[in-house]
Amino acid sequence: MKFVDLKKVEEFKTDKAYRVLLYDSPNLRVLAFNLEPGQELPVHSHSGDSDVALIILEGEGEFTGAHAMPARAGQIQIMPVTEPHGLKAHTRLRLLVFIAPTL
């Protein structure tokens, strides 16, 4: 078992998105990203038979890629990792990413 206090994962960087690997196993990978306004996770995709979930913890932005739409706290975008996905922050934004099974 692993316990993570997300209130302690609040670091931001001015030059790029802050990224931290919270959990990694063959079945599940969990990452946290903190973005300042204007920062983004570039649109990308992966090969493999996995799913990815992008969960907005706080802030506002835009999901980019195959399913572009506004993103705000409390929303989750879920898709196969083969579909192009990304995110652009309009305000200070905190994001959780789940990938299962791991790539």
Q: What are the tens digits of pLDDT across the range 91-103? A: 999 999 999 998 7
pTM across the whole model: 0.94
Residues 82-93, mean pLDDT to the nearest whole number: 98
CA distance 40 to 51: 20
Q: Say which residues have a Cβ less than 8 Å from residue 56's Cβ, sequence separation at least 6.
A: 71, 72, 73, 74, 75, 76, 93, 94, 95
Q: Please, what sign has the CA dihedral across residues 40, 70, 5, 23?
A: negative
Residues 51-63, mean pLDDT to the nearest whole number: 98
Please calculate the CA angle 41-102-63 and round it to the nearest 5 degrees.
25
Taking the CB of residue 22, how many other CB atoms lie within 10 A of it?
Answer: 15
Q: Where are the domains of the chain?
A: 15-100
Q: Which pair of structure tokens corresponds to residue 92?
A: 């200070």
Q: Which pair of structure tokens corresponds to residue 54?
A: 């992008």
Domain 15-100 -> CATH class:
mainly beta
Taking the CB of residue 8, how many other CB atoms lie within 10 A of it?
Answer: 7
Please report the pLDDT score of residue 2 as a whole number.
Answer: 92
